[in-house]
Amino acid sequence: MATVALSSIAKSFGPTRVLGGVDLDIADGEFLTLVGPSGCGKSTMIRIIAGLEHQDSGSVAIGGQGVDHLRPHERRVAMVFQSYALYPHMSVRQNIALPLTMSRLRLWQRLPLLRQLSPGRREAMRAIQADVAAVAAQLQLEQLLDRKPAQLSGGQRQRVALGRAMVRSPDVFLMDEPLSNLDAKLRVHMRTELAELHKRLGATFVYVTHDQVEAMTMSDRVAMMDSGMILQLGTPSQLYEKPASLKVAQFIGSPAINLLPATVAAGGRLELFGRPLALSVAPEAGQAVTLGVRPEALALVQGEPGGTGSAWFSARLRRKENLGSEYILHFELAGRDASGVSMRVSPAIAASVSEAAELALGFDEAACHVFDAQGQRIEPRGQGSATASVVPLRA
In a domain, 309, yes or no: yes
Per-residue pLDDT tens over the stretch 305-328: 655 446 888 899 999 999 999 999
Q: Calculate the alpha carbon distances from 202 to 137, 139, 149, 312, 321 in Å.
A: 18, 16, 28, 47, 40
In the predicted model, residues of the chain with pLDDT beneath 70 are 108-110, 112-118, 303-310, 334-338, 382-395
Say how many domains are in the chain: 2
Indicate if 76 and 200 belong to the same structural domain: yes
Q: How many alpha carbons fall within 13 Å on the CB side of residue 302?
A: 6
In a domain, 387, yes or no: no
Residues contacting 193, CB < 8 A, separation 6+: 159
Q: What is the pLDDT of residue 392?
A: 36
Tell me how many helices (H) and strands (E) the chain has.
10, 21
Indicate if 324 and 198 belong to the same structural domain: no
Domain holding 24: CATH number?
Answer: 3.40.50.300
Indicate if 240 and 314 belong to the same structural domain: no
Per-residue pLDDT tens over the stretch 112-170: 666 666 677 778 888 999 999 999 998 889 999 999 999 998 889 988 998 999 998 89
Indicate if 206 and 301 belong to the same structural domain: no
Indicate if 35 and 139 belong to the same structural domain: yes
Indicate if 267 and 341 belong to the same structural domain: yes
CB-CB contact of 292 with 257 (8 Å): yes
Q: What is the pLDDT of residue 41?
A: 94
CB-CB contact of 191 with 217 (8 Å): yes
H or E stretch covering 207: strand 204-209
Indicate if 239 and 305 belong to the same structural domain: no
Q: What is the pLDDT of residue 273?
A: 87
H or E stretch covering 362: strand 358-363
